Chains A and B, each alone.
Chain A
Amino acid sequence: MAVLTGRVHRFGDDVDTDLIIPARYLNTSDPVELARHAMEDADPAFASRVKPGDFVVAGKNFGCGSSREHAPLALKAAGVAGVIASSFARIFYRNALNIGLPIFEAPEAARALKEGEEVAVDPVAGRIRRLSTGEEFSATPFPEFMQALVAAGGLVPYVRRRLAERGGRA
């Protein structure tokens, strides 16, 4: 995976899934449709402001609330390259890994990064660099199994392989 460069969009602590994608739009699972309403109740202008490759930066417990996979899907489809937060809620963390939205648990970066500034992120090394000063922050590395999951391209190809193995054994 190449280094990703984009602008920072800052949010606070406990950003819940209703803020990421309000339930009123969940009568569809079309990513393009969902992307139009990404972060709408936190910042109505977000969907029109966000550029492909940008990063969402937030405080603790990002993605708390519902299990809706529509949340990471909406962010990904809106062009968000990744989410940097002090910590993630459990289900959002799984969902993001499963669908291939890069996430970085990086409390220092989450505290330091400012709205609008540019960052370069190396998703494999988990290194986040502030472009204006060159200052670097590191993210908590994923456990080995999850690294393998991410390397395999998410859970879908992983299960596909498991199913093929089972078929082979039968």
Chain B
Amino acid sequence: MSMTLTEKILAAHAGRERVSPGELVNARVDLALANDITAPVAIKAFREMGAERVFAPERVALVPDHFTPNRDIQSAEQAKLLRDFAREQNLPYYYEVGRMGIEHCLIPEEGLALPGELIVGADSHTCTYGALGAFATGVGSTDLAAAMALGELWLRVPETVKFVLHGRPRNRWVGGKDYILFLIGQVGVDGCRYQAMEFHGQAVAELPLDGRFTMANMAIEAGAKNGIFPPDEATLSYLAGRAKRPFAPVHPDPDAGYAAVYEYDVTDLEPQVAFPFSPANVRPVSAAGHVPVDQVVIGSCTNGRLSDLRMAAQVLQGRQVHPGVRCLVFPGTPRIYREALAEGIIETLVGAGAAVSTPTCGPCLGGHLGILAAGERAVSTTNRNFRGRMGHVTSEVYLAGPAVAAASAVAGHLVSPEEL
């Protein structure tokens, strides 16, 4: 019987021939992960469950990335809970500041998310790993505790919606962020609620892995359970020398049943921007009007990868950040940071007047290192622009890709790089 990519992975992990949308299955978990906000709650639930050992230490990852390097005493106490638990349980994949990266940049880079796998994380953007052809979804802390204790979790098999992106964008600054913002703008923030988004088409096939991570990352912003790409040559070469476990890529059946199929041509797509206060409030940058900007944030689990920093540097090369703008750059992992150093990207960014930080979630969630005052506006490469997301409840976040963010840092207002 024919199945979508998500259905196939769930069937395999539930020990079933086939599964259908709507069914509840108990599925085996290949990796369970949590961060410094969600793990403390999960560890508490784990103890209350009477669990003593995690089901497999090499299949649990803890990444303290949100309030680290610690913002205050309370967050230091939370981070300590992870550290102590990692020691107690002998977890090989716990990452201390200095080796720590933003979880959804770090886990794939470490080769801990693989095609055909089933991954649950106590963080909504766990769906990022769908870029590699894994079923990956965000859960809460109690679910994560159950997964750590049992090595399995109940899941409802989602319907799958197929998105086919045809063509090749003419605009050189258009990338994965623009594709996914455009799609969220089309379907809305609950357009794919409880569903799997499966991505196909020439534009997707030609999109480098970094761009696929960006797209899968924001599937949750359409309400989806997961976003997923059929693995291909690019996937395998990304994983070469990285994969920590053997894996078997899974592909959707050609005649699989989809709840809906959406097809778009991206040939003439412009860079996209999501206006406050919804990731679905999307328009092309040319229709942005005059939006003065106080802060620009480049980084996060959405756009903190090497090609994102490279694109920002291409825009900032030979230019200066506007005197009225704070431009903050957050490489996703220490490795990305080092590669950006080696390529001269960091030199360019700092030379242009940007501030480059050690990897952390920082301002993305209004945590620290770049909080907005009342009424301030930021252009940010992150994934959420909800009210108060980056600071004061009257502050505003405009979501864009790294090229528009960097261009806006130069201009002091929201703008496309072509207009500089």
A-side residues, CB < 8 A to B, are: 14, 16, 18-19, 22-24, 26-29, 41-42, 60-61, 64-70, 73, 87, 89-91, 94-95, 98-99, 143, 145, 154-156, 158-160, 162-164
Contact = CB atoms under 8 A, between A and B. Distances in A.
Contact of A26 (B37, B122, B194, B386): B37
Given A64-B190, A87-B193, A98-B140, A26 B384 contact: no
A143 to B, nearest CB: 6
A16 B386 contact: yes
Contact of B142 (A61, A98, A143): A98
12 contacts: A14-B189, A14-B190, A23-B37, A26-B365, A29-B40, A61-B190, A61-B223, A89-B223, A154-B142, A158-B146, A159-B149, A163-B49
B20 interface: no
B30 interface: no
Nearest to A166: B150
A18 B24 CA distance: 29
B387 A19 contact: yes
Nearest to A28: B74
B388 A41 contact: yes
A67 B138 contact: yes
Contacts of A154: 142
A94 B389 CA distance: 23
A158 B150 CA distance: 11
B175 to A, nearest CB: 24
B138 A91 contact: yes
B39 to A, nearest CB: 10
B41 A69 contact: yes
B67 interface: yes
A69 B154 contact: no
* Residue of A28, A87, A156, A163 with most chain B CB atoms under a 10 A cut-off: A156
B140 A143 contact: no
A99 B384 CA distance: 26
Contacts of A24: 366-367, 371
A29 B78 contact: yes
B367 A145 contact: no
Contacts of A94: 139-140, 143
Interface in B366-392: 366-367, 371, 384, 386-389
A95 to B, nearest CB: 4
A90 B45 contact: no
A16 B276 CA distance: 13
B41 A91 contact: no
B72 A65 contact: no
A111 B92 CA distance: 50
Contact of B124 (A22, A91, A143, A159): A91
Contacts of A98: 140, 142-143
B123 interface: yes
Counting contact residues on chain B (CB < 8 A from A), the size range is 35 or more
B49 A156 contact: yes
Contacts of A143: 24
A156 B193 contact: no
A94 B24 CA distance: 13
A89 B190 contact: yes
B71 interface: yes
A118 B123 CA distance: 36
Complex A-B, nearest 4 residue pairs according to Cβ-Cβ distance, in ascending order: A95-B140, A61-B190, A23-B365, A69-B140
B98 interface: no
B51 interface: yes
B233 interface: no
B227 to A, nearest CB: 13
B413 interface: no
Nearest to B72: A27
Contacts of A66: 123-124, 365
B190 A60 contact: yes
B37 A159 contact: no
B384 A65 contact: yes
B384 A164 contact: no
Contacts of A164: 50
Contacts of B48: 156, 160
B148 to A, nearest CB: 10
A89 B66 CA distance: 23
Contacts of A90: 193-194, 223, 225
A156 to B, nearest CB: 5
A22 B392 CA distance: 10
